[in-house]
Amino acid sequence: MTEAYVKSTLEDGIAVIEFFHPQSNSLPGHILTAIADEITAAGKDSSVTAVVLRSGGDRVFCAGASFDELVAIENKEQGLEFFSGFAKVINAIRVCPKFVIGRVQGKAVGGGVGVASATDYCFATKFASIKLSELAVGIGPFVVGPAVERKVGTSAFGELSIAASDWRDAQWAKQKGLFADVYDNAEEMDEAIATLINKIKTYNPEAMAEMKKVLWKGTEDWDTLLSERAVISGTLVLSDFTRNAINKFKSKS
């Protein structure tokens, strides 16, 4: 696979949304917007019972923000627009009246951790190590932070944020509440996802929609909050420190 894509399939009431980017499933703006749009559409579709969010490929779930787009940002407006992409995805999951199930087959970095954290129930393999690397490149996990903190707690979120160059393994993420279950391989994980999906199909859709509201209680201000956080990141990305740090990361990859 060499071309980036977002595709959605519907089978027996389950919308499967898959994204892919040849650079370790990084997330440029158009991919983020497409993911958010597909989640929103699935939420409005009365034939959809639940949503599965996954990425293409094998051992990498999502490498986070696209470095190519980060270094191309020239002003605060462009910075706000780019980082608002992550806000769109998180908020789309938040307000979707259907449960969004995460499938994390491999490593997740930065925004990828945020996307996984935003899902309502997240499965992972033992290869799904996580890292919030934003401070290491001169910005911070400001936009995805509320989603990560909501799932793992302030202490673990601070640990991930401050130790920005360190990986935490999938079992650590499970212990902190990010992952509901961790499996030895993708095949076992997919079997477990299918089992949960079959249970969800028997639930009352109205009850699930009300449960979704309960689970996300206290996040009603996130449209504003995440936009404010996007302003912070969009400003920091313009600094010489951040540009130099990102270019150093790019040269190593």
Average pLDDT, the chain: 95
Q: How far is Cα 151 from Cα 132, in angstroms, rounded to an integer?
A: 14
Q: Which CATH architecture has domain 5-184?
A: Alpha-Beta Complex (3.90)
DSSP for 134-169?
Answer: GGGGTS-STTTHHHHHHHH-HHHHHHHHHSTT--B-
pLDDT of residue 253: 59
Q: How far is Cα 130 from Cα 168, in angstroms, rounded to an integer?
A: 5
The pTM of the full predicted model, rounded to 2 decimals, is 0.95
Write the pLDDT tens digit of every residue in 114-132: 999 999 999 999 999 999 9
Q: Where are the domains of the chain?
A: 5-184
Q: How far is Cα 197 from Cα 204, in angstroms, rounded to an integer?
A: 13
- Under the banding of pLDDT at 50, 70 and 90, the label for residue 183 is very high
Closest CA to 232 of 36, 37, 26, 87: 87
* For the chain, the helix, strand and coil percentages under 3-state DSSP, each to the nearest 5: 50, 20, 30
Mean pLDDT (whole number) for 129-153: 96
- Under the banding of pLDDT at 50, 70 and 90, the label for residue 2 is confident
pLDDT > 90 in the chain, percent: 89
Query: Tokens 């920005």 map to which residue?
Result: 164
Write the pLDDT tens digit of every residue in 86-103: 999 999 999 999 999 999
Write the pLDDT tens digit of every residue in 41-53: 999 999 999 999 9
